[in-house]
Amino acid sequence: MSGLDSNPFVDPVDVNPFQDASITQATSRASDNAGEFNPFSASEMETHSGKTIPLAAASSQPAILQTSVEQSAQANAASGQANLLRQQEELEKKAAELERKERELRNNSSSSSSAGRTPIAGENNWPPLPSFSPVKPCFYQDFEADIPEEYRRICKRMYYLWMFHSATLFLNVLACLAYFTASPDYGVDFGLSILWFVLFTPMSFVCWYRPVYKAFRSDNSFSFFFFFFVFFFQVAVYIIQTVGIPKWGNSGWISSISMIGSNLPVAVVMMVVAGFFTVNAVLAVILLKMVHSKYRRTGASFSQAQQEFTRGVLTNQTVQTAASSAAASAAQGAFGRSQGS
């Protein structure tokens, strides 16, 4: 009967898998550990304190942005350093150029100086005389430094004309000497030729070459007008010298032709000098027209020349001294007359 009371659907061996000894031990340990864990205990806080991420660090900029900022700063520093190097190279080039120019100027000065003396800029350098000469240069002349480039060529041509003029006057003395040796009646021509050479050589330099030099140097209207006034008479003198009137001290065409029948060698020498006078006259007319054309481009006028002359006279120290002396003398004379009366 006991066999009939049993449940045929029940496993004869009642086995509980959770009653296994190993599983029961593991679950008991886990429950014990779970019951003892306190996240706010001091030991747990010390354990995890090194791993806590601050809020400021968590909210800081991304790492990729910091890298880009550092790269841009490095790029700026590199570009700044490159600019400094480039500026340093430019300064070194300029310093080398200045040193080269200074060396060239020093070489030019040493080559142009006489007896090893270096001339000072602005010091009188014309006429070029040796240092031991008792007579010193009276004028300063430097075409490259004083005359603008557009006027430099015409100014140099005027200087060459003056040199040719001086050489012609010297040759005229020799021709008149030959004229005098051919006939004692022409001694007056020889004497006058010496006078013209001694007188007209420096006067031509001072009266028409220096004014045109000053006019081109400072664009001075008064110097232009003074040059035109004097040089017009110089052209007339050239024409008279070319003609060669006897007893006037000029070996011109009339005097030279008159000697062909009596003394041919002397006539040839005089004809050469007459040709020189002719060249002087032609060049003077050409250069006068060229200077006048340059003068018209400068915009100078007669009224401006008057103003410059008045300003120069009023500011001249010599004129001021003479005027004050004359005024003082007149005042003393008037005071003496008033006392005497």
Q: What percent of the chain lies above the pLDDT cut of 70?
A: 60
Asked if residue 35 has pLDDT above 80, the reply is no
Check residues 71 and 4 and name the one with the higher pLDDT: 71
Model pLDDT for residues 86-132, shown as the tens digit of each residue: 888 888 888 887 877 777 676 655 554 444 444 455 688 888 888 88
Check residues 250 and 70 and name the one with the higher pLDDT: 250
339 inside domain: no
* Confidence at residue 161, expressed as pLDDT on a 0 to 100 scale: 97
53 inside domain: no
Q: What is the mean pLDDT of residues 75-80?
A: 78
Asked if residue 287 has pLDDT above 90, the reply is yes
* Confidence at residue 317, expressed as pLDDT on a 0 to 100 scale: 59
* Confidence at residue 117, expressed as pLDDT on a 0 to 100 scale: 46
Q: What is the mean pLDDT of residues 269-274?
A: 96
74 inside domain: no
Asked if residue 254 has pLDDT above 90, the reply is yes
Check residues 277 and 39 and name the one with the higher pLDDT: 277
- The number of distinct structural domains making up the chain is 1
Q: What percent of the chain lies above the pLDDT cut of 90?
A: 36
141 inside domain: no
Q: How far apart are CA 179 and CA 263, in angstroms?
A: 9
Asked if residue 63 has pLDDT above 70, the reply is no
Asked if residue 257 has pLDDT above 90, the reply is yes
* Confidence at residue 128, expressed as pLDDT on a 0 to 100 scale: 86
Range of the domain at 217: 147-309
What 3 state SS string does the chain have?
CHHHHCCCCCCCCCCCHHHCHHHHHHHHHHHHHHHHCCCCCHHHHHHHHHHCCCHHHHCCCCHHHHHHHHHHHHHHHHHHHHHHHHHHHHHHHHHHHHHHHHHHHHHHHHHHCCCCCCCCCCCCCECCCCCCCCCCCCECCCHHHHCCHHHHHHHHHHHHHHHHHHHHHHHHHHHHHHHHHHCHHHHHHHHHHHHHHHHHHHHHHHHHHHHHHHHHHHCCHHHHHHHHHHHHHHHHHHHHHHHCCCCCCCCCHHHHHHCCCCCHHHHHHHHHHHHHHHHHHHHHHHHHHHHHHHHHHHCCCHHHHHHHHHHHHHHCHHHHHHHHHHHHHHHHHHHHHHHHC
Asked if residue 283 has pLDDT above 90, the reply is yes
Model pLDDT for residues 126-140, shown as the tens digit of each residue: 888 888 888 888 899
* Confidence at residue 284, expressed as pLDDT on a 0 to 100 scale: 97
Model pLDDT for residues 197-226, shown as the tens digit of each residue: 999 999 999 999 999 999 999 888 888 889
Q: What is the mean pLDDT of residues 176-198?
A: 93
Q: Considering the entire predicted model, what is its pTM? A: 0.58
